[in-house]
Structures are given as C-alpha cells and as structure tokens.
Amino acid sequence: TTGAAREYFTVNFTITNLPYTSDLEKPDSARFRATRRVMNMMLDRLLKDSSIGPAFHGCEATDFRYG
C-alpha cells in the first residue's frame, strides 16, 4: 500500500499587533528571521493541538507584507 500524498496549501491572515517594518520584506534580515521563527513555532503549536493535529506535518511562514 502507498501512503496518502501530502497536500500543500497557503493560508493568509493579518496579525494586527505586529508593527510592519521594511526589513520584514527581506528574508535575510534579522527581524524577518526572528519573526518567522516565532510565527512557525506558534502556528505549529496551535495546529498540532487542533483537530488536524494527527495529519499535520508542519508549517512555514514564507512572507510578510504590509496590509
């Protein structure tokens, strides 16, 4: 038997208490890396504890933008 194929999807949302700065546009900036690390940790924790937890394999913040 073969395992189920992973499905990838994009989720967009707004964080209202994260002040936007231009270094969030630069993936090599310290601010981008720190923000991505925190967001990944918090989203992983939230989704692992949700109803999709058993099927959840991780998430990755890839972009921040003003808006």
CA distance 31 to 26: 9
Tens digit of each residue's pLDDT (9 = 90 or more) over 44-54: 999 899 998 88
Banded pLDDT at 1 (limits 50, 70, 90): low
Domain ranges of the chain: 22-55
- Inter-residue contact 60 to 41 (CB < 8 Å): no
Say whether pLDDT at 10 is over 90: no
Q: Indicate the range of 7-11, 19-23, 26-30 predicted with least confidence.
A: 7-11
